[in-house]
Amino acid sequence: MEELTLFQKIICRKIPAEILLETEEALVIKDIAPQAPVHALIIPKKPIPRISEAEEEEAALLGKLLLTARAFAAREKLTDGYRLVINNGRMAGETVPHLHIHLLAGRSMGWPPG
């Protein structure tokens, strides 16, 4: 049996996290090492290791993750803007093999990122 990822353990409530929003398809949690005043993670409850491994039949779920990010941003009144980031692979900064979207806000974002 495969070991659960950190995010699966959070979804199953095996380990604690600060849950900011929950939908049928996703959890939004506070990042434990924030890179901005607002740094949330939008995590699908269905485990997908990374965006490069997402399947066509997961397109609706992927869209719902973006809509969950939008709903969270609206609820938090992030009217000055926010950035959404998906890391794919170790060289991109992926540390947990479970697709998730970083939502960063509350400070000016530079370009190019990283």
Active site residues: 100
Cβ-contact 70, 82 below 8 angstroms: no
Segments of 1-114 assigned E as strands: 19-22, 26-30, 38-44, 82-85, 101-105
